[in-house]
Amino acid sequence: MTPLLAGKTAIITGAAAPRSIGLACARQFADHGARVALLDRDETALEAALAILGEDHHGHVCDVTDTSRCREAVLVMERQLGGVDILVNSAGLVQSTKVMDISEAEYRAVLDTNLTGTFHMCQAVIPYLRERGGGAIVNISSIAGRTGGGFFGSSHYAAAKAGIFGFTRGIARELAPEGIRANAVAPGPIDNDFTRGRMTPELKEKVAAGVPMGRLGTPEDIAGACLYLASDLAGWVTGVVLDVNGGLLIH
């Protein structure tokens, strides 16, 4: 069987942390034939991630809150990859501060990383997708955008992740005539390091008990959904939000 992404090139943000959704996407995309560029602001973690992926792939230090750094990184990676077909926006920041305790700086950091960073990267990549005659954008949102927060993300995180829904649908509608598809994935609770140790074993057990499938998700679960949306299997799919949460939000 031909790999799903044979001959494709992908840029993935927030892709360096060992148990991140971004790195899981990079590994699955590479396994399915893509050449991958990892973007992350952590240079040490980025080097370690590239060592896992191998020499056919590339990386660039980039803070997605800085639009000039995004444009620079995409320019460099596009030249090294020989084009761009896929963008996965996975960079994120979660905080659980109560609304009256959120500082202006924290509010801006959460919105800038999750929502504005997605905007910056889309603006940087879309011209190259147009040059290729089409492509796919996958934006990582969260169940928090549906529920108004919860486990760790509070109001500003929920606002940012809900904003990704609207932004994704907006660019999907605008770019569809050019063959550029845009979709979002909304993960439920994931067993990784995104919460920086706040998800204790006891809390994991409690959260998993409320999931119909009886477990937390894994980064690989989300990467599989991204792989589908990035591939030609989803060739007539655009403007959707794919909920991947083990049945937590069955209506």
Q: Which of 107, 128, 157, 228 is catalytic?
A: 157
Residue 120: in which H helix or E strand, if any? helix 117-132
d(CA 78, CA 108): 29
195's tokens? 């919460």
Cβ-proximal residues to 158 (8 Å cutoff; 6+ apart), any chain? 142, 144, 145, 147, 148, 149
User: Does the annotation count 128 as an active-site position?
Assistant: no
Q: Are 27 and 53 in contact (CB under 8 A)?
A: yes
Nearest to 23 by CA among 4, 10, 7: 10
Nearest-10 Cα torsion for 175, 177, 181, 183 = 60
| Sequence letter at residue 96 | S
Residue 185: in which H helix or E strand, if any? strand 180-187
Grouping H, G, I as helix, E, B as strand and the rest as coil, residue 11 is strand
Q: Are 35 and 73 in contact (CB under 8 A)?
A: no
Residue 47: in which H helix or E strand, if any? helix 43-53
DSSP 58: E
| Sequence letter at residue 156 | H
Max Cα separation, the chain? 55
Q: Which residues are catalytic?
A: 157
